[in-house]
Structure 1
Amino acid sequence: MNIKIYPSESKGSINGISSKSYAHRFLIAAALSSGVSTLDNVILNDDILRTIEGLKVLGAQFVIFDHTIRIHGIDLKKRHEHVVINAHESGSTLRFLIPLASHLSASTTFRGSETLLKRPLSVYEKLYKEHDIQFEMIDQDLHLGSFPRQTQYRISGAVSSQFISGLLFVFPLLDYSSELIIVDHIASKPYVDLTLSIMEKFGLTVIEKDNTYFVEKNQSYKPIHEYCENDFSQAAFFAILGAINHEVSLSGLSLQSKQGDKQFISDLQHLGVNIEIDELITIFKSSIKSGTIDLEATPDLGPIYFVLALFSEEQIVFTNTKRLAIKESNRVEAMRIELEKIGATMIVSDNQVIVKRLEHPIYTECFNTHNDHRIAMALSILATTLPWPTIINNADCVNKSYPDFFKHLRSLNIHLEEL
């Protein structure tokens, strides 16, 4: 599917969608509970469906109606000889479910897209191979043995916080107490905090001290009924639409959320964006200051921040950008290729990106999405400001996280059509 976006002035309010990060974590915790849990306000996307399918393979049952999911927990006393889980393109599904699947099954095969299985799994690989447990790629499938048993686990947190969350979900189920030591810094630490907050809601206790997590043995997940938070990661696209195009209001966002990408509000204010926070969060078109933004905890905001920088007074410097290379695409390289089409300047080094102000865009007929949902959404926001219609190729890759993105963009007075 290709989408043509016409120059348009944004206006209106949008409620957004449920948080993918919150839903992944809730569904896993609910699947590990001893009864029936319910999650309301869920907008399904490809990634969430992959986690649901993986949990079904492990024995969970799901009833989905409207925007509510009812989850019947896994019989944790049952052990499988072998299971096969297809994560498709969902890195969250893969990283969250590797420890759980190997705990519940003697052997596991994970399948996925070619790009997914090229993404880093070295943290788990090292952990399994230290105990002579299978963890290897065979014919484009990942094969692994049973979960490594030890009382102390030492891993890197610098690649992705999802490795930490994946282990934390399993530890309470073990028949021995566990200690997880992070040997370096934790990338995207707020998302570990989100995992811990959801585990606490399900009745689990995890003690955190100095980059170490202590988990008592034989704990039980208790079923609960929750309302899924709205997603700050996706809301950031519309916030920046307001900042560079015309006023936009966001509703349904909880400022008490543990979601790391809530940081976009502070980042935009730091860059001079006029934001009014009341019952709604209203973002006004603003003069964007030059400045520096650290993407260590918020790499998913990188693509739309690069768009924002084109409207800055002079330039914006982005630090800790290295992890953008290991997402659905190499997001730095993908954005450089696309933004250079309209004459933008991106100066890329090992762990830093500088994006210069773009005074006079050069005509281009289309942008390519590199099969990356966040690239597609970022370029679509940019396209609304260009003085000519722009085609977004392969736009349906947004289904990975936000199937209604273009419907919602149209609701904000943006003229677009499907080709």
Structure 2
Amino acid sequence: MIDIRALRENPDRVKENAARRGCTVDVDKLVALDREYVGLIREVEDLRAERNRLSKECQTNPAARDTVKEMKVTLANKESRMAELKTVVDEQMTWLPNFLSPDVPDGGSDADNAALRFVGKKPEFAFAGRDHQALGELLGIIDTGRGAKVAQSGFYYWVGKGAQLTQAMFFWAQQELVKRGFTLFMSPCVAKEQTLFGTGYLPFFKDQTYTLSGEDLALIGTSEQTLVGYHADEILDAGTLPRRYTSYTPCFRTEAGSYGKESRGIFRVHQFHKVEQIIFCLPEDSPRCHELCLENEEYLLQQLGLPYRVVNVCVGDMGAPGYKKYDIEAWYPGYGGYREVTSNTNLTDFQARRLGIRYKGNDGSKGFVHTISATGVTDRVVCAILENFQQEDGSVIIPEVLRPYTGFDRITPGV
């Protein structure tokens, strides 16, 4: 949530940002309602003070008693209107998007993201490369058919050495992040509505959320929700910042509207698995922490030997809570293009305001923390491993850094 002072002091900036981000909130109307609300606060405070003064005269001044009775009615009406306005203003404020970094590119979709750099060499095959779905079926390590039978389309099984490879990668990535100063968590896989609201997933991504019937709970779409919510309504010692947290969890998203080539295989699914990076930091440190998470993402992909590109995400491809976002897109030779495997967002104080996460320093400094949310690795990275390290016979070479955790260096058809 943005600071309401921004709306009051510079409504034109809020209006321009909302328009650029496609927000449908009527900012002019919101400003007018907020001004009425602020005006009523002053009127009510003055009326209460006058009522209290006159109440002291009621025993000796009959006229004062009549005036106090009239004032009670007036106050009740004004307080009712004030509460009504506050509800409307608060609700509309929740829909206003975060402000954008000056270097966020214009654009309406991921096709408009600005490529910053290309890293690694694309593999060259003397054969027709298979995509991860075809490889998974050939090797017997991905089973989408039985996933649909047991659950529904969009759920799947990693099987045998595919499951071993996937778990090896997740364990390895967690260990690497711990070496880089992250505290490892095992997080709940459900969260309250207030937690989803506080992290900015509600109301913006309500249609992507699996809610539990009859419960104030939903399946998490990312451990960002539970890791950021961990410090809700707390004041953190500025001297302990930045705090770096990581967790591995399953993640659940409806992925409504995913069809065609983009959804083939297990790239867009209802359940996936992810190692997440979360940082709580001082406002002045968030740009540096944002870059740090990007360095971690690139390090992991480089250690795995995957070619990729880094993009600066355009305004039309960024969620409303984001201030600035990087995506890393790995090369998928079987697909024939780059596809997103990590995202990394500086959310500034947007989440902290909604969740009430503040900091306080020994020097008297205080305010809302900034949060960074960044992917470590997901199942998509394993899909990229399959496609980039495939051999003509359908076998797949295991990246060297994962072999101590898998116990094998190749997955071969029929073995």
Considering fraction of residues, name the structure with more helix: 2
Q: TM-score, normalised by structure 1?
A: 0.24
Q: TM-score, normalised by structure 2?
A: 0.25
